[in-house]
Structure 1
Amino acid sequence: MAKQGSAFAAFGRPIRLGLVGGSHGFIGPVHRVAATLDRRFVLTAGVLSSDAGRGRAAGIAIGLDPERCYGDVAAMIAGEAGRADAIEAVAIMTPNGHHAAAASAALAAGLDVICDKPLTTALADALALVQAAEASGLVFCTTYNYSAYPMVRQARAMVRNGELGAIRQVHTTYVQGHNATLVEADPAKRGWRFDPALSGESLILGDIGTHAHHLAAFVSGLELEAVLADLHALVPGRQAHDYGAVLQRWSGGVPGTMWVTNAAAGAEHGLSFRIFGELGGLEWHQERPNELRHRRLNGFEQILTRRLHGALLPEAERLVRVEIGHPEGYQEAFANLYRDVAEAVAARRTGLPADPLALEFPTVRDGAAGMAFIAGALESQRTGTWADCRLRV
């Protein structure tokens, strides 16, 4: 529900959302449920597929007006422009290679943007989106949804509050197993992710490496400055990267590591971070999302659990949706992002100040930083040396 006194409460109604992509696969339903879970968005129009017929059928199936199921983004923008109930924002969940064009068109039309990660497939396109979004003053969220777990926000706030002291090392892992066999040998399973034109030059870095990068930056408050990368296609016959080990150098000279793979046979998900400072460390595993381990120098280990009623810092407690003992996770975190974006959109449209705690969501700059990380890692792979990966825009 809307917080009393929030910009969204003053706005007084759900924001009208246009969908771009999501007719099939995993992520489309995740976005749609997340957008509507708190009744802050209403699904209004869409281009659900590059195949106009399939997109129209998919739009009708989720309850869209058939007249507002469009064949492409340009048609949706043109068709909505003259309506009193026109869309006010777009959510983009297409294959990666279509993100840049859809987001650019939406910004040019004055629409706020929610875009799946990675932001683009090329750094130049990401830099152009940063410039366009910031010049427009529109809201732009890149959906690094793991940043909206309560215990991740708890960790970020603890670091900000100095509970770890100066950060000394940052480590992330993201270990999956769904590509441990040559799944792409079956045309029915190959999918767009194995096409570099749609997925990007490095499958593993774009698909999950950017998540690990953003999570580390988000919690630590540091900027990744340089990388030394070792990227591989481990499964015989595969061309796309399915493994990455990356030495990292964060701002202030802080060292770190990243290990990401989707070819670890038997692994399920395995996203985690370990961040250590002069006074202690924090550890979080997405497979156990309600627990955050806090280790203190010369003190006991404490397991913080996700709960209500003052046990957590405000940055975390505001995202908790159910009472203690009940699990919540991926879908709720996605919905937390949409809820906060709605507050920012409402603030922009009403001219009222947004709840400051709602402005923690990842922006277009976070998305572009992920692309700078990928570009640096690929340069390092080519040269065998450290490569600069700072975002320069």
Structure 2
Amino acid sequence: MIYGEKNVEQPIRWGMVGGGRGAQIGYIHRSAALRDNNFQLIAGAFDIDPERGRDFGKNLHVDPERCYPDYKTMFEEEAKREDGIQAVSVATPNRTHYEITKAALEAGLHVVCEKPLCFTTEEAEELVALAEEKNRVVGITYGYAGHQMIEQARQMIANGDLGEIRMVKMQFAHGFHSAPVENANASTKWRVDPKVAGPSYVLGDLGTHPLYLSEVMLPELKIKRLMCSRQSFVASRAPLEDNAFTIMEYENGVMGTVWSSCVNAGSMHGQTIRVIGSKASIEWWDEHPNQLRYEVQDQPAQILDRGMGYLYQEALADDRIGGGHPEGLFESWSNLYTRFAIAMEKADRGEKVFDMWYPDVKAGLEGVRWVENCVRSADNGAVWVDYK
């Protein structure tokens, strides 16, 4: 149970790049980081417009002198201060993630980065090597992974409650972009521009979320090969896809599927993950994140609820309020930012951070690698490709 007591000796001095006024994602970063006193927001380069960024920072109670016109100036000036930032969150459009994360690591900073970490496997491997060289934490905001019932699923699978795992069925398929909404929405428009968004739209933006959930629940699974078909049902989005189907074969014979879509008309989110074993199956749906469906063959289906004493202790450790009270996405992000903070403090003590899971730089690399392989398969006629 989380009671708000300190997880780190001193709040980590923290800055932000992006996430300013009008940026939907910025608020959840700040809410998650500040909730448990793990971080203290003391600096930022919040906006490409320096004056607008400074005004926004002032409204967050950030010293105007520490509201910088760009990330390069922030890293340079903060490095001169004894109380300079120790970590930075990157909440900017996709094409800037690599350069900002690399610069932050070179400046000796920990990083929390929006996904994708970058556009190519080569870039991602460079960032992995740099993070390891500097012993810096890089967290990726796969924000759904902090839900308590994801940890419950992880423990049930590890304990053998499902038997031998056979299949993993994943999807993130909403309907909010079933029409060309980007024509009137700037925050959506860049997501379908390959120069800004990268080599994919829904594969990277949506599909990597349930894929990471599967990596948390089933850390031993390794993809052997995959086949992907992608479509642009709104033709103006081509060459980026707004719908994709991916089939995966894992090294141990387990099969997996991912449906990634923003044109599933009528669907709110449609993000689910179902893990099927020889004895039982579990299913989690992000629109009802406090429940986990548990189906044992030849028995009535059970709904496991967050916060209840019958859950594994590892799941209850993330509990923020007693059972029956709903927790949501902000709590999930807060749980991840707590993990980031603990890892950062360990790294600052010179420890290697291998004894805990969180969406780290290698998770960012795997997301980039998966998208690359999906695009390679789809663009060669939806053929099976060996996973590289």
Counterparts of 1:300 and 1:355 in 2: how far apart (Å)? 39
* 1:245 maps to amino acid: F
Q: What is aligned with 1:261?
A: 261
Counterparts of 1:237 and 1:344 in 2: how far apart (Å)? 43
Cα deviation for residue 236 of structure 1 reads 4.2
Q: What is aligned with 1:328?
A: 327
Conserved? CA contact 1:375–1:389, under 8 Å? no
Residues matched between the structures, number: 383
Counterparts of 1:305 and 1:180 in 2: how far apart (Å)? 33
1:69-218 → structure 2 map (5 Å cutoff): 69-186=67-184, 188=186, 190-218=188-216
Q: 1:100 to 1:56 in 2, by over 3 A?
A: same
> Could you list the per-position Cα deviations for residues 213-232 of structure 1 after superposition, in whole angstroms to 9, with x for gaps in the alignment?
11122212212332111101
> Could you list the per-position Cα deviations for residues 13-38 of structure 1 after superposition, in whole angstroms to 9, with x for gaps in the alignment?
21110101111321010101110011
Which stretches in structure 1 are left out of the alignment for 5+ residues? none
Q: What is aligned with 1:299?
A: 299
Counterparts of 2:3 and 2:87 in 1: how far apart (Å)? 19
> Could you list the per-position Cα deviations for residues 309-350 of structure 1 after superposition, in whole angstroms to 9, with x for gaps in the alignment?
x32212211111112221111111001000111111122224
Counterparts of 2:47 and 2:90 in 1: how far apart (Å)? 11
Q: What is aligned with 1:244?
A: 244
Conserved? CA contact 1:377–1:389, under 8 Å? no
Counterparts of 1:49 and 1:251 in 2: how far apart (Å)? 45
* 2:160 maps to amino acid: G
Q: Percent identity?
A: 37
> Could you list the per-position Cα deviations for residues 82-131 of structure 1 after superposition, in whole angstroms to 9, with x for gaps in the alignment?
21211011111111111111111111111111111121122221111111
* 2:180 maps to amino acid: L
Cα deviation for residue 51 of structure 1 reads 2.5
Counterparts of 1:12 and 1:275 in 2: how far apart (Å)? 39
Counterparts of 1:263 and 1:141 in 2: how far apart (Å)? 29
1:231-380 → structure 2 map (5 Å cutoff): 231-239=230-238, 240-308=240-308, 310-350=309-349, 359-380=356-377
Partner SS for 1:129: helix
Q: 1:261 to 1:353 in 2, by over 3 A?
A: closer
Counterparts of 1:74 and 1:330 in 2: how far apart (Å)? 31
Of 31, 34, 39, the match for 1:33: 31
* 1:335 maps to amino acid: S
Counterparts of 1:188 and 1:163 in 2: how far apart (Å)? 46
Conserved? CA contact 1:99–1:119, under 8 Å? yes
> Could you list the per-position Cα deviations for residues 262-306 of structure 1 after superposition, in whole angstroms to 9, with x for gaps in the alignment?
111211111101111122111111111111111223433221110
Counterparts of 1:89 and 1:388 in 2: how far apart (Å)? 37
> Could you list the per-position Cα deviations for residues 364-386 of structure 1 after superposition, in whole angstroms to 9, with x for gaps in the alignment?
10111011100000110121211
